[in-house]
């Protein structure tokens, strides 16, 4: 009897041990089962095309970004959809040009006063990835709607840390004093650049230079993600080097050789982003996530020349339909997946992120979702042009007229400042100095006609970046596309 009891006890122990092994194996399977990549999208604000080392900067040092770029693929012809931030960011999230959504202007400062934001019928990439099982985070600048129904936590982000408006001051001690003074005076609407940062809707009493604060929160997010079974999508949207030009003294000291004050402060702000990315990458490596993370880096538009930026060799900068306004520095990095030490010269658009990311994530694109880009992954890996014979547009409204730039393959049609349409060969004339319209009139006519057809999908703006612009829009009976697309 004693032997039977002992045998029974041994059988129970063996069964229990087998159960533990099965549970452990199941857990291990779940941990490694989801091999879909993490996606880290790092966005700078008003960063110039030539203001990073991997794109030719000599006076601004960006060693962390350069290392990632050199170990990945640099894109020489990367475009965003608009030459200033709000519309460009709307496209990143929706995969659509901003104009058909009525989002072709920046939301005005303190946009909570008008209660508007990117239309709710537009499913953000964050929501699509979240619904496919991704852990999602947004850190930094939002600028896509400041009232609750447009909040990042509602648009597909599990975590949000940052500010909801179009910009912010960088030193908490300074902006908090201004905020408290206005609050004490009973001012109902306090300038958004002074408002407290927030975490998931709750105000935060920040103490760090906010570029460093965003890095800190990104590191926390990556660390938290490492403990989860699902992959992550992190949208790290630094507001640097957007004005106001404010930098830490330790960063300024690194660029004492730059005599121009704007340029020196701007350089220090870019460097703060670079050392921030270095910390995030270090955390990815320490948590074993680096090798399975696609890192995408770019700017939301061209650099602002009056605030220390350069866009060499491109013409003009932020706000322009010339290349300097919306052609941006960009790279992909993903070990053993993205070609290392490579350069991709074919055009790519930020519109391509939505379909490309969903493809990599094996996510289901919402039924009826309009996407203006395409999944470029297979073409990119094989070195092919995903946009052959396809137009890439930029259209920016001004007071009483509209500037337009539209590229197809190496050719671009351009009309700015109410001047005549021009035809440019970007492969031979990246600075857009030589007009070929007299030599190829039929090509000019065809490309302008195709751009005009695209403009017919646009809707009236849902908002303007300030009240005066809205008044002028109505006064001038804009957009007046019949004048814009008229050929001489």
Spatial neighbors of 289 by CB under 8 A, at least 6 apart, are 38, 222, 225, 226
Alpha-carbon torsion (477, 478, 479, 485), positive or negative: positive
Dihedral class, residue 330 (left if φ above 0, else alpha if ψ from -120 to 50, else beta):
beta
Is 143 part of the annotated catalytic residue set? yes
460/474 Cα distance (integer angstroms)? 11
Count other C-beta atoms under 10 Å from residue 166's C-beta.
26
What DSSP string describes 295-344? EEEEESS---GGGT---TTSSS-TT-SSHHHHEEEEEEE-TTTSPTTEEE
Count other C-beta atoms under 10 Å from residue 129's C-beta.
26
295/70 Cα distance (integer angstroms)? 13
Nearest alpha carbon to residue 269 among 211, 207, 208 = 211
Could you list the beta-strand ranges (E) of 409-482.
411-415, 422-425
Catalytic residue among 82, 99, 143, 242: 143
Q: Report residue 297: phi and psi, to 5°.
A: -125, 135
> At 213, is the secondary structure helix, strand, or coil?
helix
| Residue showing tokens 């990458």 | 281
| Crossing angle for the helix pair 261-286 and 210-226, to the nearest 10 degrees | 10
Catalytic residue among 44, 85, 322, 394: 85
Answer yes or no: are the C-beta atoms of 346 and 77 closer than 8 Å.
Answer: yes
H helix count then E strand count, the chain: 14, 15
* Structure-token pair, residue 61: 């040092």
Alpha-carbon torsion (162, 165, 171, 175), positive or negative: negative
* Structure-token pair, residue 290: 């680096």
Nearest alpha carbon to residue 219 among 270, 281, 160 = 281
106/152 Cα distance (integer angstroms)? 17
| Residue showing tokens 């000291």 | 253
N-to-C CA span, the chain: 107
Is 44 part of the annotated catalytic residue set? no
Spatial neighbors of 81 by CB under 8 A, at least 6 apart, are 87, 88, 91, 97, 98, 326, 349, 350, 351, 393, 394
Nearest alpha carbon to residue 162 among 257, 271, 45 = 45
| Crossing angle for the helix pair 261-286 and 63-70, to the nearest 10 degrees | 60
Return the active site residues: 85, 143
């Amino acid at each position: 009897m004693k032997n039977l009891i002992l045998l029974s006890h041994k059988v129970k122990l063996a069964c229990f041990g087998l159960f533990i092994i099965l549970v452990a194996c199941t857990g291990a399977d779940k941990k490694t089962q989801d091999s879909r990549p993490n996606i880290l999208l790092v966005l700078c604000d008003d960063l110039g095309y030539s203001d990073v080392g991997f794109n030719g900067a000599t006076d601004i040092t960006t060693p962390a970004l350069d290392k990632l770029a050199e170990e990945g693929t640099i894109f020489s012809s990367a475009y965003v959809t608009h030459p200033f931030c709000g519309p460009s960011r709307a496209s990143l999230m929706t995969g659509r040009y901003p104009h058909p959504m009525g989002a072709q202007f920046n939301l005005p400062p303190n946009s909570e006063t008008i209660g508007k934001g990117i239309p709710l019928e537009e499913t953000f990439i964050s929501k699509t990835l979240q619904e496919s099982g991704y852990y999602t985070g947004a850190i930094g600048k939002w600028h896509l709607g400041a009232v609750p129904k447009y909040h990042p936590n509602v648009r597909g982000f599990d975590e949000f840390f940052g500010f909801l408006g179009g910009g912010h001051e960088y030193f908490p001690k300074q902006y908090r004093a201004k905020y408290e003074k206005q609050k004490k005076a009973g001012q109902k609407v306090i300038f958004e650049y002074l408002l407290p940062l927030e975490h998931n809707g709750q105000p935060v009493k920040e103490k760090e230079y906010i570029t460093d604060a965003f890095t800190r929160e990104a590191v926390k997010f990556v660390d938290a993600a490492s403990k989860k079974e699902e992959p992550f999508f992190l949208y790290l949207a630094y507001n640097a080097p957007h004005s106001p030009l404010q930098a830490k003294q330790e960063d300024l000291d690194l660029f004492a050789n730059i005599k121009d004050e704007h340029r020196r402060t701007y350089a220090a702000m870019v460097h703060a982003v670079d050392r921030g990315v270095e910390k995030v990458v270090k955390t990815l490596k320490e948590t074993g996530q680096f090798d399975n993370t696609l890192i995408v880096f770019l700017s939301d538009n061209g650099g602002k020349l009056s605030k220390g930026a350069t866009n060499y060799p491109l013409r003009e900068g932020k706000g322009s339909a010339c290349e300097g306004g919306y052609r941006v520095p960009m790279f992909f990095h993903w070990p053993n997946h993205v070609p290392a030490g490579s350069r991709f010269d074919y055009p790519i658009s930020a519109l391509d992120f939505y379909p490309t990311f969903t493809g990599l994530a094996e996510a289901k694109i919402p039924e009826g979702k309009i996407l203006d880009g395409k999944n470029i992954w297979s073409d990119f890996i094989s070195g092919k042009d995903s946009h052959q014979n396809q137009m890439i547009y930029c259209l920016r409204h001004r007071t009483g007229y509209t500037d337009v730039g539209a590229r197809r393959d190496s050719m671009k049609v351009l009309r700015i400042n109410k001047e005549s349409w021009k035809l440019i060969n970007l492969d031979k004339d990246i600075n857009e100095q030589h007009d070929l319209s007299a030599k190829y009139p039929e090509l000019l006519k065809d490309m302008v006609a195709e751009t005009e057809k695209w403009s017919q999908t646009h809707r009236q703006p849902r908002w303007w970046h300030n009240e005066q612009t809205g008044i002028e829009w109505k006064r001038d009976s804009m957009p007046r596309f019949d004048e814009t697309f008229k050929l001489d």
